[in-house]
Amino acid sequence: MRRLIPVAILVLLPVTLLAPADRGRPGVRPLVGLALFLLLAGFPGVVLAEKDALEARVHSLAAELRCPVCQNLSVADSPSEMARQMRDLIRERLRQGERPEAVKAYFVERYGEWILLLPPPRGFPLLAWIAPFLGLVGGLAGSFLLLRRWVKRSPGTAPEVDPAYLARVRRDMEERKNG
């Protein structure tokens, strides 16, 4: 029975979206359709359960370290033997109560800064963090100022529509509706 629900939603979705809305309350149907869509999107979320806390910490730390023998994979993702040993090492150290920062520092000492997939937020590597931020903020500020200047420059009104033309459009539309 539970398996049928998504199928039913899939079938119902387009129908509800396109069905005529009540005259008094335009757009109620799309709302229903939307809610149904998200039911659909939310459905798989039910599967989840909590992760083992230690495994989760191992994973998130390993995800920030680069696998030394692979092409650009993290220790968490890499299927290589080396990465597995590193994961075991991380697990062991975390289990002994070592702080994640200390574990990271251990790897940096052995392999250099290269091992970190996230540049540390101090010194020169801080640049890697600031630059994209500056790019975004600069772009936004610049375009905001530019837009404001253009708005100021413009006369500010949309061109007037000729009333006679408007009347003709209305008449044509009426005719179309009736014909």
Partner 1 sequence: MATVGHWSLLLGLGLSLYGMLAAWLGARRESPAGAASARAAVVGLFLLVTIGMAILEWALLTDDFGLRYVALNSSRGTPILYKISALWGALEGSLLLWEWLLAGFAVVVVLLYRARHPDLLPYVIVVLLAVSAFFLGLMAFFSSPFEQMSPIPADGRGLNPLLENPGMAFHPPTLYLGYVGFTIPYAFAMAGLLRGKLDADWIGSTRRWTVTAWYFLSMGILFGAWWSYRVLGWGGYWAWDPVENASLLPWLTGTAFLHSVMIQERRGMFKVWNLSLIILTFALTLFGTFLTRSGILSSVHAFAGSPAIGTSFLAFIALVLLVSFGLVAIRSDRLKAPVELDSMLSRESAFVLNNVILLAATFSVFFGTVYPLLSEALRGVKASVGAPFFTLVNFPILVVLLLLMGVGPLIAWRRASPDNLKRNFLLPALGALAAGLLIIVFGYRDPRVVLILILSAFVLGTMTLDLSRGVRARRTTDGGTLPALRSLMARNRRRYGGFIVHLGVVVLFVGIAGSAGYGRQLEQTLTPGETLELGHYRVRFEGLSAAEASSHFRVTGAFTLFNDTHQVARLETAKLYYPRDQQPMAEVAIRSTWREDFYLVMTDFARDGTSATVKAMVNPLVGWIWWGGGIITVGTLYALLPNRRRKPAQPRGTR
Within 39-98, the residues that bind partner 1 by CB under 8 A are 39, 41-49, 51, 55, 59, 63-64, 66, 69, 71-74, 77-81, 84, 87
Does 143 contact partner 1 by CB under 8 A?
A: yes
Does 24 contact partner 1 by CB under 8 A?
A: no
| Min CB(58)–partner 1 separation in Å | 10
**Residue number, 70 or 98, with CB nearest to partner 1:** 70
55: tokens are: 């495994």
Contacts of residue 124, Cβ cutoff 8 Å, sequence gap at least 6: none
Does 148 contact partner 1 by CB under 8 A?
A: yes
Rounded Cα distance, 88 and 15, in Å: 53
| Angle, alpha carbons 41-42-48 (nearest 5°) | 130
Does 9 contact partner 1 by CB under 8 A?
A: no
Collapsed DSSP state (helix, strand, coil) of residue 40 = helix
101: tokens are: 């920062």
CB 13, CB 30: distance < 8 Å: no
Q: Which of 24, 97, 112, 163 binds partner 1 (CB under 8 A)?
A: 112
**Residue number, 96 or 154, with CB nearest to partner 1:** 154
Q: Which of 101, 124, 160, 162 binds partner 1 (CB under 8 A)?
A: 124
**Residue number, 21 or 102, with CB nearest to partner 1:** 21
Does 6 contact partner 1 by CB under 8 A?
A: yes
CB atoms within 10 A of CB 125: 14
CB 148, CB 100: distance < 8 Å: no
